[in-house]
Structure formats: C-alpha cells, structure tokens
Amino acid sequence: MKKIEHLGIAVKDIDASEALFESLLGTKPYKREEVKSENVITSFFKTGESKIELLQATDESSAIAKFIEKKGEGIHHIAFDVKDIYKELERLKAEGFRLIHEEPKKGADNKLIAFLHPKGTNGVLVELCQEISN
C-alpha cells in the first residue's frame, strides 16, 4: 500500500457538506461525480497528497443510506492507493482478509476499487484503489 489516497465521509446533504468542507479546507471540490452502480453522488477535495471524498446516497438501497441510518454521518471508509490492485487482493486474501469484491470494479475518480469486509479489519471499512492509466 502506497499511501492513504482518501477518506470517505458519509453525508446526508452533499450541497451543504461541500460548502462546509470548502470552508474547513480552504479549497473548492475538484470533482463531483455520480456512481450509478453504488447509488451515490461523490464530491472530492484535495488536501495535499490525500483527498476527502464526500458521499451522499441517491436512494434508500445505497450502502451510504444504510450506514447513516445505523451510525449517522461521519467517516465511512479509508482508501489506500495500491500499485497493483489484483496482486494486492490476492495477497490480502491469502492473509485471510474477507473481501467484499473478489474482482476490482470501476469506482469514482477514474479508479479501480475493491473493498475489504470491516468485520475483518477492526470495524474499519477499507478500500483499495488504483488509478486507471489511460
């Protein structure tokens, strides 16, 4: 794992949270993107080498809606930048971690992503991501 790529934060109202994080970080979001497969709208801020990803559910079936219902708004996942997501998933599986995605899929911000099950990681939802090279 190379570095923390971003922290994902579950929010109820992405417009309000964008304004809040804009004042907090002193910078505007650089991208807003809907991920239809996950039923979320995301908004990204750069903070030095890392990023903040705000996530708002677009319907009740979204994992973000369920998370907020259970725990309220707040930090939802931590994402690590990896060089080779396929190799990393293989390595983690061999180490005994539970994978939510056996195969990486296309996520927001031009990334291949995969999640590990939080039950195997002290309750922390871990995302692996690798930039898709064009």
Q: Which residues bind Zn ion (CB under 5 A)?
A: 8, 53, 79, 127
- Which position's Cβ is nearest Zn ion? 8
Q: Could you tell me the smallest distance in angstroms from the CB atom of residue 99 to Zn ion?
A: 16
Q: Could you tell me the smallest distance in angstroms from the CB atom of residue 44 to Zn ion?
A: 9
Angstrom distances, CA of residue 30 to CA of 22, 33, 122: 11, 10, 32
Nearer to Zn ion, 35 or 120 (CB): 35
Whole-angstrom distance, CA of residue 94 vs CA of residue 90 = 6
Q: Could you tell me the smallest distance in angstroms from the CB atom of residue 63 to Zn ion?
A: 11
